[in-house]
Amino acid sequence: MHEQLSLGSPTRFLSVLDFDPLTLEACLDLAASLKAARAAGRRHVRPLEGRHVALLFEKPSLRTRSTFQIAVHELGGDVVEPPADVVLGGRESVADVARNLERWVYGAVIRTFAQARLEEFADAAPSLRVVNALTDEEHPCQALADCLTLIDTWGGLRGRTIAFVGDGNNVAASLAQAAAMLGATVRVASPVGFELPHPVRESVGAVARFGGGVVVTNDPIEGVFGADAVYTDVWASMGQESEADARRHAFAPFQVNARLMAHAAPEALFMHCLPAHRGDEVTDEVIDSPVSVVFDQAENRLHTQKALLAILAGE
């Protein structure tokens, strides 16, 4: 259904970096064909027939949880959702949770805090398909949907510039890695002290193709100048709620409003992973404007995660 995967068959997606560029492209191609099949009501592959996938979420979720539930179901499988108080919460070790689940389920989709915790889980259960549904450091499933949204609109990312305005966070990191692999330049504009971490910048440099890459600035206007898309996210991520007031002051000049959008290319897209804090990082005027693709991004979570699960199942 898609081209030969150069990694053999990847069995985990803890990071965009777990996919090489060909695998990333194959996943996005498959997502586009699954999206078309779903719209036309056509049958498609059901690689999870007779298999269970555990959803382990230590943070709230609307989009990721719902779309994984639907994705597993549409691929023929069933989800199990252990209650929050037994997920990875200290009742037993992370490794023991993983070793138990490995005896019952085919895969695990995990939203947690430290990336290291996710890696500990995956290392303890090597036969499980493990997917990162967001950590403090990365949100690779979001990046898949973001890239499909841009491909749907532009045909491809090569030579494009995407401005990410705000916190150099998990969403920015995964977006920069994926978009640069596909040939885009991602400019991340953040207040001093909230820049994209150096190791992430280096990882982007290592995987960038076709002249793409990442550029970091502390000037929001320089960040969006002439950009083909402007992306933002909340100023305080899940787990950082106690910092929200202090951050609001630092991030105020980075609000994506009509004045800032005017510095981007004409017809530049507006993107947000959602949930949005309207009036903080983005104004209603921008998020509700015709250039906003935020609900296309949300829709594409479903199609890209179906493709991801199919690829991890060796389809």
Residues forming the site for ligand NVA (CB under 6 A): 134, 169-171, 233-234, 237-238, 273
Catalytic residue chosen out of the listed positions 111, 187, 201, 303: 111
Pick the stretch among 62-70, 83-91, 150-158, 254-262 that binds ligand CP (CB under 6 A): 62-70
Please indicate whether residue 248 is annotated as part of the active site.
Answer: no
Q: Give the nearest distance from C-beta 315 to ligand CP in angstroms.
A: 24
Please indicate whether residue 111 is annotated as part of the active site.
Answer: yes
Q: Give the nearest distance from C-beta 87 to ligand CP in angstroms.
A: 15
Q: Is 61 in the site for ligand CP (CB under 6 A)?
A: yes
128, 204, 273, 294: which one binds ligand CP (CB under 6 A): 273
Q: Is 64 in the site for ligand CP (CB under 6 A)?
A: yes
Please indicate whether residue 141 is annotated as part of the active site.
Answer: no
135, 142, 304, 305: which one binds ligand CP (CB under 6 A): 142
Closest to 254 (Cα-Cα) out of 175, 300, 176, 195: 195
Please indicate whether residue 65 is annotated as part of the active site.
Answer: no
Q: Is 84 in the site for ligand CP (CB under 6 A)?
A: no
Catalytic residue chosen out of the listed positions 139, 160, 201, 247: 139
Please indicate whether residue 139 is annotated as part of the active site.
Answer: yes
Please indicate whether residue 142 is annotated as part of the active site.
Answer: yes
What is the full DSSP assignment across the chain? --PPPTTS---EESSGGGS-HHHHHHHHHHHHHHHHHHHHT-----TTTT-EEEEEESS--SHHHHHHHHHHHHTT-EEE---GGGSSSSSS-HHHHHHHHHTT-SEEEEE-S-HHHHHHHHHH-TTSEEEES--SS--HHHHHHHHHHHHHHHS--TT-EEEEES---HHHHHHHHHHHHTT-EEEEE--TT-SPPHHHHHHHHHH--TT-EEEEES-HHHHHTT-SEEEE--SS-TT-GGGHHHHHHHHGGG-B-HHHHTTS-TT-EEEE-S---BTTTB-HHHHTSTTB-HHHHHHHHHHHHHHHHHHHTT-
Q: Calculate the alpha carbon distances from 151 to 84, 148, 156, 184 in Å.
A: 36, 5, 5, 11
Catalytic residue chosen out of the listed positions 142, 177, 255, 305: 142
Q: Nearer Cβ to ligand NVA, position 44 or 65?
A: 65
Q: Is 272 in the site for ligand CP (CB under 6 A)?
A: no
Contact partner, 14, from ligand NVA, ligand CP, none, Cβ < 5-8 Å per class: none
Q: Give the nearest distance from C-beta 55 to ligand CP in angstroms.
A: 11
Q: Give the nearest distance from C-beta 64 to ligand NVA in angstroms.
A: 7
**φ/ψ of residue 15, rounded to 5:** -155, 155
Q: Is 70 in the site for ligand CP (CB under 6 A)?
A: no
Q: How far, in Å, CA of 76 to CA of 60, rounded?
A: 26
Q: Give the nearest distance from C-beta 59 to ligand NVA in angstroms.
A: 7
Pick the stretch among 20-28, 56-64, 101-109, 202-210 that binds ligand CP (CB under 6 A): 56-64
Positions marked catalytic? 111, 139, 142, 233, 273, 301
Point out which residues bind ligand CP (CB under 6 A).
61-64, 134, 142, 273-274
